[in-house]
Amino acid sequence: MNLEKRLPAALLVLCLLAGLIYVGVSGMKVGEEEEPELFDTKETIYFWYSDESIGDYINSAAVAFDEVRGARVIPVLVSDSAYLEAINEASLHGEHVPDAFIVSNDSLEKAYLAGLASRITDKEEFCTEEHFPRTALLAVTYKDKLVAYPFYYETSALLYNKDYLEAWTAQQLAAQESGEDEYDGEDLPEVEEEIIGEQNLEVSPEQLAAGIPANMDEVLAFADNYDASENGEVVLRWDVSDIFYNYYFVGNYMIVGGEAGDDENAVDIYNDETKQCLEIYQRLNQFFFIESDTVTYDSVVQEFIEGKIVFTVATTDVLKRLEEAKEEGAFTFEYGVAPIPQPSAELEGRSLSVTSCIAVNGYSSHKELANEFAAFLTGSYYDKLYERTGKVSANLAANPENAELAVFMEEYKNSRSLPKMIETSNFWIQLEILFSRVWEGGDADSLLLELENQIVSQIQQ
């Protein structure tokens, strides 16, 4: 399709912004990137990204790619404000077309329909379930076509204070040895100290794992029996204002767009299972009293570092923060990561995930080279991604020795991505509003029906 035919579609999909677009690299504008040296015959591509934290990593990847391929990659850091619009503007009117770029999976329909994301070539045939979980492949699939390469992901899991859980488990074992059925939170008989002192009740990994709640009923039972220390810790606290840490309650039953998030006929929001999950979520407020307008993710992580929380819901970024706090002496506990508890013994949960992908621009004159670099980043140059950036590669071969990241990967495998459909671009915000209203006592039934009607109406417009 020629440029003249593509421009109207791009205008309709992206609502293009006019004027110059500024680039976040040393204050340079688009078109002012460092030019290849005179008479340099290397083929050159421009790679756009918007997350400053991965800049050094992308630059080192570009150098490594040049060494093995003999081609130049020029990374360009761009503001994440109107990011796709900036890519479109540069593709149509800029001096240098962004040949490949990083984009969130939920923006792929928008990018594809505007011609900014093209079907990948995948010459090495590594975009398969041998190398990536199905979740990652679905995240980069649009209308049964692979239109990007899965790069890194974010999802949530249960974070717990290992020291507290081990102590509680030892108390449970001591109670059983002393003839009690279960530790009830009261002072244990003297036999406890004798038993623990003799190390007859050393907590094994299997016993510790058995103490991790598998569902919210078990969380409440744990809270009933748990004897808070002098620190006054709470059993469970999480950021109830952010859908990322709430979504698992409804993720298994609330369908918008199907598995790949691109099917306008696959919408099922108002159903009995989703309603029951939301009602369980609502009842937790009566037990844990979390103020949605004051508790934030950062405040929760800080309280966990201070030893005030036994369990919380966290994303992969928490691991780096805890290790840094340990190095500084601010965090003196051991911790662990486990699957998020199910809403109940009968109802299943499913976490939310976002996959950052590498798309090859349909306007590029160097698609083959852009595909090669995207494949290099995601299929070969991934071993230091987490170490250097804190981002977790979607490649199954990454981070083989990291037990905590292995748990996050299992959650990612079972997670659901945000829908790609342009008409549902506000789904995240609307779902966040629904959870907030349910948490504050709103009627789950009527709120679910209202959300389904709104999403269906948006799709049918």
Encode 300-331: b = buried (16+ Cβ within 10 Å), e = exposed: bbebbbebbbbbbbbbbebbebbeebeeeeeb
Average of per-residue pLDDT across 405-422: 97
Question: DSSP character for 75?
Answer: E
- Residue 461: pLDDT band (50, 70, 90) is confident
Question: Hey, what are 101's tokens?
Answer: 């770029």
pLDDT at 392 over 90: yes
Give me the pLDDT at residue 198, please: 40
CA 66/CA 40 separation, integer angstroms: 13
Average of per-residue pLDDT across 317-336: 97
Provide CATH code, domain 157-352.
Answer: 3.40.190.10
Secondary structure (DSSP) of 107-175 = GHHHHHHTTSS-----TT---STTTS-HHHHHHTEETTEE-SEEEEEEEEEEEEEHHHHHHHHHHHHHH
The single residue listed with the structure tokens 């990204």 is 49
Instruction: Decide: pTM greater than 0.85.
Output: yes
The answer to whether 254 and 268 are in contact (CB under 8 A) is yes
What is the CB-side half-sphere exposure of residue 50 using CA atoms within 13 A?
Answer: 17
In the three-class reduction of DSSP (H, G, I as helix; E, B as strand; rest coil), residue 56 is classed as helix
Give the closest residue to 341 by CA, choosing from 206, 175, 211: 211
- Residue 230: pLDDT band (50, 70, 90) is low
When mean pLDDT is compared across 94-108, 184-198, 250-264, the lowest value belongs to 184-198
Question: Hey, what are 79's tokens?
Answer: 């503001």
93 Cβ contact list (under 8 Å, min separation 6) = none
Average of per-residue pLDDT across 156-160: 98
Average of per-residue pLDDT across 430-438: 96
pLDDT at 187 over 90: no
CA 55/CA 77 separation, integer angstroms: 7
**Residue 320 main-chain phi, psi, to 5 deg:** -65, -40
- Residue 179: pLDDT band (50, 70, 90) is low
pLDDT at 15 over 70: no
Domain with CATH 3.40.190.10 in the chain: 3-151+356-417, 157-352
The more confident residue out of 196 and 397 is 397
Average of per-residue pLDDT across 80-96: 94
CA 290/CA 152 separation, integer angstroms: 31
Phi-psi category of 183—alpha, beta or left, where left has phi over 0 and alpha has psi -120 to 50?
Answer: beta
What is the CB-side half-sphere exposure of residue 180 using CA atoms within 13 A?
Answer: 17
pLDDT at 38 over 60: no
The domain 3-151+356-417 having CATH identifier 3.40.190.10: the answer here is yes
What is the CB-side half-sphere exposure of residue 65 using CA atoms within 13 A?
Answer: 30
Mean residue pLDDT across the chain: 88
